[in-house]
Amino acid sequence: MSNMDSVRVRVFSLNCWGIRYLSKYCPQRYAMIGEMLYKEQHDIVLLQEVWSEKDYLFLKKKLASCHPHSHYFRSGVIGSGLAIFSKHRIRDTFLYRYSLNGYPYMAHHGDWFGGKAVGMAILNLGSLTANVYVTHLHAEYSREKDSYLPHRVVQAWELQQFIRYHTSAGADVVIVGGDLNMHPQDLGNRLLRAYTGLQDSYLETAKFDGCENGMTLIADNPFISKKELVPFEKGIRIDYILFKGSSKADVHCDSMSTTKGSVPNHPFPYSDHEALTAELRLEKLKNKDSTTGKLAELVDIVTEARTEVKVGLHCAERMRYTAARTGVMGLALLFLELVIAAVPYLALGAEQPFPRTSFYLLAVLCFAILLTTSMLYIFYTMELKSLQGAEDQMRLGIGSLQEKLKGFCLAQLHNPSGRPPEVQEPSAFEPEE
């Protein structure tokens, strides 16, 4: 074609489940992953849950000849677990850590300690500039009683803001890969895709080879507990490769594939998640018309997200009140104990009315209650502020979208031909309106 150049890019994404000393067969699986990546020669490799920097350095050494450019995103207590390997030179990187990421006292879940985040790398793919993002959102531990849903919705909101507003204005192509921990029709997923215009490789591909319905957590995987899939018998799809073009480039997904659990000549899979590979075709364009789209649907999605965040706000307010009330009780007990301790000094010759050991134990208990409730109060205050900030942003976003929708409706009334009104050419990644 005379008005466009074509570039093909193979993108790979995998949640490696790389918790040293806890994940099963971790060193052996990293060796398998390294061999597979060396053999397949993908253009871009996006990895999650590479919790140990030693494992990243192992892969970096293994892939030095085929993926000379790489970056490890550091965050949180034990790291973000995010890494990128590329055939193409990485021009710049940036990490954004989500403001909400679970609770520190839910240590058995571990999300808070991981510092969930989104990592960005800017690459040149031929003559096009690509912003590549790798991310991992908070896990869903219970479908029926998902106490982390407001946190995951806020993470999706911050992710779309990070991509749409803050980083992609100069990009010709956007590619996002990672474990979103959301089903295709979950609120956070719809919010992310509707606001940014990102397309799902599985839904857009011309050819697919992999697990049924593109599932990335499957019942046949020996590392998967059946409880993780309830109420889904065969599996779920929570890992994605998303993409979007711009006024300068079109992006098409020619093929997509996933691993299918077992690995030939090996006794176990690469991970508890299935790996994704998407072959994208980037076509450089001279011109691309601006379009107006589903503003009303976007208003509904953001309104639903705001409602869910409000639910999280009320929950956080209730928990903060409980922590404050318990702290006041602890303070009252401590004050009472101080009064009792002063009795021998105020009444000369009087003896301490309580055994000394019990007295000291009660003092330790009071201090423990005060310390714990103070920390919880501070944490829930921080959570409240983050939720309130997200809710305020969503409220403003809804107002802006409603104004655009109103203006579009008025323009249509004065435009009987049905042609969309002329609008200013948006930046590369303004949402489709």
Question: In this structure, which amino acid lies at residue 35?
Answer: E
Residue 337: which of 311, 308, 360, 357 has the closest Cα?
360
d(CA 238, CA 139): 10
**Residue 166 annotated to the active site:** no
Residue of 42, 71, 88, 273 marked catalytic:
273
Cis peptide before 231 (omega within 30 of 0): yes
Helix (H) or strand (E) holding 396: helix 356-413
Q: Which residues contact 39 (CB under 8 A, 6 or more apart)?
A: none
DSSP string across 10-65 = EEEEEEEEE-TTTSTTHHHHHHHHHHHHHHH--SEEEEEEE--HHHHHHHHHHTTT
How far, in Å, CA of 208 to CA of 165, rounded?
A: 32
CA count, 13 A, side-chain hemisphere, 55: 28
Residue 184, both tokens: 């295709």
Q: Are 405 and 299 in contact (CB under 8 A)?
A: yes
What order do you get walking across the sheet with 90-97 strand by strand?
Answer: 90-97, 117-125, 128-136, 173-179, 239-244, 199-200
Task: Tell me the catalytic residues.
Answer: 273
